[in-house]
Structures are given as structure tokens and as C-alpha cells.
Chains A and B, each alone.
Chain A
């Protein structure tokens, strides 16, 4: 039994302070490579952790393992054809990628999006936000050990993907948003199905809360772990739920409304302490708010065209191709060469599920963009993980990575 008391004595010698860190006989720093293939990372993120015992003293994220050259590929394609390329960047919030790009191009063109298209865009964006948070919740709970959440969240996700499939034909990367509006009006029955889903979503979110909130293990792993104050976060240029969890009520849907968000009445959840539990609660509360927005958008859906009218930019409807010569010529020019955008630059920021997603487009007057840059929220938020996990356990590192919710497609582009 003396070995146990030795162990307890050694355990007591591990402090959370940094004075004991250093090289020496009794204190040694271990460098551990976590990833890029690891059961707990969200995507191919490699973390080089410097450990003292079980305490993390420093981490260095290494990224680039899914770098796809999206920005370079988008320069080779016409504006219309670059939308699917840009959509595949942050692969959980594909409508947001398309929205940022289309918004930037529409600003450069000076194109007005009709109100029905804006409401349809809002419906799909908020459905995508709910879906992204569902995947986050499922995979984070899986990381923390609560495996059942995965199946419940993906059950809801399948319902949302059925809605996406109904409106656009594809489950993921739907190419539904186009420059000027949306590609097709919603089919008959879509609004009812969305209403049914949205009516049931708050009850589901309550079920998730019931399952997780009173669980001691989850609370112990999330409460008061890895907090970071608002000033450090602002210095790190963090946006989104991470910043809101620290108490800063910054949301681009309220601060700089775009796409008729100013017409909807919703709140933004804000935390107080900025620890992992607040980040969890902020994202969970966004389920309710997004459901409210979709509900209001459905009730107030205006009639009208689903895409802008300008035939030099938007494809004509197919039935006109049989009768009108101009429509045929427009169609031909738009499909082969594409529309030209007058030279200029534009930065269009929107509020994605992970933070501020901005699209910078430089147009040089031709039919292809000269530079497309997506300012991805996960890329910038990932820098915040190093100060967050300093002097906590490895288990807290895993929980923090789960709560930061990086999507490596956006980080690496």
C-alpha cells in the first residue's frame, strides 16, 4: 500500500501554476502529437501539445491537412460556376458560404434581391444554422462520452436534410442560392413541412437539455473549464458564439442586418463567464431563436419572384427559351461565358454558425473573379484555443476543442 501513498504524494506535487514548469529531473515537459487522425478531433486538426504530467502547458495547432485550393479554383470559374466551389469550404454551413459569395457579387453588381428570395434565403440559412448546431451537439457529446446525443441529433438532421432535398434536390451543397436570389421557388408542401419541423424543434431542444444539463459528468467537464475573457477574445479577433459566451452581445444579424434580418424579432443568447458551459448553452439557445426566425419568415413570406429580373445576370426561365430569341441568347451567353462584373472589390460579412464569415471578391471586369477570399470564422477562432487550454487537463483540451467547434474545411479552405 505504500505505492499508493507515494502516488498520492506525487499527485500533490502537480500544481497548476507555471513556476514549476521547466526542465529538470523531477519536472519534464512532454511533447505529444494529437492528430491529424484522432478520434476526438473535429476533422483533420493536428495539435502538438506540450504537457507536464496531464496538464497542458502549451498547444500549437497545425492545420492544412484538408487544404483544397478553393480560392485558386474559384478564380478559374465564372461567377455562377464558382458558387458550388465556394460552397464546399465550410462543409457544415454551405448555405452561408454561398450567401457570403452571392452577397458580395450582388453588391458589386448593384443587384437588388427580391423580398421573397430574401425570406427564402433566411429560411434556408436558419435551417442550416440549426443543422450545423445539431452536428456540433452530436459530435461534441460524442467526444465527451454522451453517445446517445449523436443519434438524437442526427435524427433531427435527417429531417432538415429532407427539407433541403425537397427544395433543391440535394441534401448537402445544394447550389440553391444564386446571384440574384434562389434558383427555384419552393415546391408545394414545403412551407407546411418546414412549419411542422419548426413547431417540433423547441420540444426537441428541450429534450436535449433534459438529457445533458443535469448530468454531473457533463457539468463537471464543462463548468468553469477553460474560460477566456472578452478582451483577450477581441484581441484574437474571435466572433460568433465564442465571443457571445464571454458576454459580448455581437451578432451581425442585429448589428449589420443583411438579407432582411431586420424584419424579424429574435434575441441573441449571451453568456456571462465564458467557460465551456457558456459556449454550450449559447449554441443550445440558438436552436430556439432560429426556430423563431423561421416561423416568422414562413408566416410573412411575401409573394413575388424568387430571383432578380435582370436577364443579363440571371438565367431566364426555361419556358421562355422556346418562344423568345433574346431569352435564348441571354441563356447562351450566361452559360458559356457568364455575366461580367464591373471592376471593384467587396467584402461581405455575414453571421455564420461559427462567427463572422466574410467573402472578399475582387472583380476585374471579366466574367471570372480575380480573387475570392473567404474569411472563415473557424480559421481565426482556432487561435483562441491555445490561451484557452493553457494550464488545464488534456480532457479539458478535448472538451474545449469540441466547444470551439472548428470545421476544418473552413480553416484550411
Chain B
């Protein structure tokens, strides 16, 4: 399984692209210039990359605030740093409808089984962001009452801070978006020795979900890196 990462080709500076666009509108682009313009303006890609691009731009977070980091998560929804511009505005209360769980705050031992159950109720593809120092490691409180979130569920992105600034959480969210769009997330199954724990869709025909891209029953092979 090869992981290919291709950045969006942007070899021209802004002024040249502007001139090319002007020529295009006038109908004056020809030949190689036209081909280059089309390459830059239109994304040609495989289906799974397109799907991953769409998935990454419309993630529904779960409304899951635990403690102080939840207030900074609320301020990321507010108008100063507005994550609606990234497509994240639809906070869903039901785990069945959410894509990413942002663990914001300290995870106590009483809450850990609840979080695990909620995470299990989420449907694939699902992601987890551990926001703040308390849930990534133990943070300020290395004692009997807390458990680091790594211990009971797989986390994709850890965002440090106590509490992380909204900009820091936005950085973490965009990092997650990069991961989704460039299909890096196969990584977590290897990291947590969880290969083979993919969900079975139908009796008899095991469908493997690689990086969240569902396969068709007919082809039965993975489309994707």
C-alpha cells in the first residue's frame, strides 16, 4: 500500500495566474498555455481522492465538551475564529451523525467508558482529536482520577495547550483535514496494531474500509492508496 501525497500544483506566481485567467476569459489561451490552465483550474484525480477532498471539507464534529478546553472550542465556533469557513460548523449532538469527536477537556475514569461507548457509536470513517494537555497526556493532573485518552481509544491528532488557543485548535483541525484529504489515516491502524479490525458490512462478503472509502461489492478490491 503506497501512500502518495501530491500537493496541488502551483508553480506559477499569482500575477501569472491572473494574466492566464484574463486570457482565458478573452478566449486567447491556446495550446500548451491552455493545457496548463486546465490542469491548474480543474482537479483531475481519482475518485477516492475526490471523495477524500469532499470528506475533509465537511466534517461534522460531535458536541463533546468536557472542561476548560470546551470553552475554547466554543470560541472557535464563535465569530473571531470561525471554523464554519472550513466546513466544520454543523456540530452534531448525536454520535451517529458525527465524524470527528473533539475530546476537549480532562477525561476522568468515570467518563472514559462513556466516551468509548460514544466513539463506538460513531460510524466509520471517524476521527478523534485530543484537545489539550489533559486528555493527550495527563496535563496538570497526574493523579488517580484521570486517564489519558490514548489508553482507550485511537486518536488521530493531539493538540497541545492548556487550554490550546483557538488558533492552535484550528491548526489541529486543519492538520486532521490534511490527513483525511491525503489519506494518511491508514497510519493509525498500523500504529495501534488494529489491522484486521475493520467493520464487516454484509454477511459473507467482507468489505474492507481503507481510510474510510467504502468498496463496492462488485470489484472487491481497494480503490485507494
Contacts and interface: CB of A to CB of B under 8 A. Distances in A.
Contact of B163 (A44, A73, A84, A172): A172
B112 to A, nearest CB: 10
Interface stretch (A149-157, A179-187, A323-331): A149-157
Chain A CB within 10 A, most for which of B63, B68, B74:
B68
Contacts of B114: 36-37, 65
Interface string A387-413: 000000000000000000000110010
Interface string B125-155: 0000000001000001111111000000000
Nearest to B117: A37
A37 B64 contact: yes
Interface stretch (B7-15, B27-35, B102-110): B102-110
Interface stretch (A85-93, A313-321, A340-348): A85-93
B200 interface: no
A39 interface: yes
B64 A151 contact: no
Contacts of A150: 74, 77-78
Contacts of B79: 151, 154-155
Interface string A161-189: 10000000001110000000000000000
Contact of B141 (A38, A68, A154, A172): A68
A85 B68 CA distance: 13
A332 B92 CA distance: 51
Given A36-B111, A88-B68, A91-B67, A151 B144 contact: no
Contact of A173 (B75, B77, B143, B163): B163
Interface residues of B, number: 34
A155 B67 contact: no
A38 B62 CA distance: 10
Contact of B143 (A73, A91, A138, A172): A73
A66 B63 contact: no
Contacts of B78: 150-151, 154-155, 157-158
Contact of B162 (A68, A161, A173, A412): A173
Given A64-B110, A158-B78, A88 B65 contact: no
Given A69-B146, A88-B68, A157-B78, 20 more contacts: A36-B111, A36-B114, A44-B66, A65-B111, A66-B67, A66-B105, A68-B134, A68-B143, A69-B144, A70-B141, A73-B140, A85-B141, A91-B71, A135-B74, A154-B80, A155-B78, A155-B80, A157-B75, A158-B80, A173-B68
Interface residues of A, number: 36
16 contacts: A39-B63, A39-B93, A44-B66, A64-B108, A67-B108, A68-B67, A68-B143, A73-B140, A88-B68, A92-B71, A139-B74, A151-B79, A154-B80, A155-B78, A158-B80, A173-B68
A65 B134 CA distance: 14
A409 B111 contact: no
Contacts of A138: 74
Nearest to A153: B78
Contact of B145 (A67, A154, A171): A67
Contact of B111 (A66, A139, A154, A161): A66
B97 to A, nearest CB: 12
Nearest to B95: A37
Chain A CB within 10 A, most for which of B72, B118, B141, B165:
B141
B70 interface: yes
A8 to B, nearest CB: 32
A72 interface: yes
Contacts of A88: 67-68, 140
Contacts, number: 98
Given A151-B78, A173-B163, A38 B145 contact: no
A64 B65 CA distance: 15
A409 B72 contact: no
A71 to B, nearest CB: 10
A70 B141 CA distance: 7
Chain B CB within 10 A, most for which of A38, A84, A88, A412:
A88
A127 to B, nearest CB: 15
Contacts of A155: 78-80
A327 to B, nearest CB: 29
A72 B163 contact: no
A151 B72 CA distance: 14
Contacts of A44: 66, 111
Contacts of A65: 66, 108, 110-111, 114
Contacts of A409: 67-68
Contacts of A173: 68, 162-163
Contacts of B74: 135, 138-139, 150, 154
Contacts of B93: 38-39
Contacts of A154: 74-75, 78-80
A154 to B, nearest CB: 3
Contacts of B143: 68-69, 72-73
A172 B106 CA distance: 15
Nearest to A172: B163
B67 A171 contact: no
Pairs of residues from A and B, 6 with the lowest C-beta to C-beta distance, nearest first: A154-B78, A91-B68, A69-B145, A39-B93, A69-B143, A65-B111
A56 to B, nearest CB: 21
A141 to B, nearest CB: 13
A179 B107 CA distance: 30
A47 to B, nearest CB: 14
Contacts of A72: 143-145
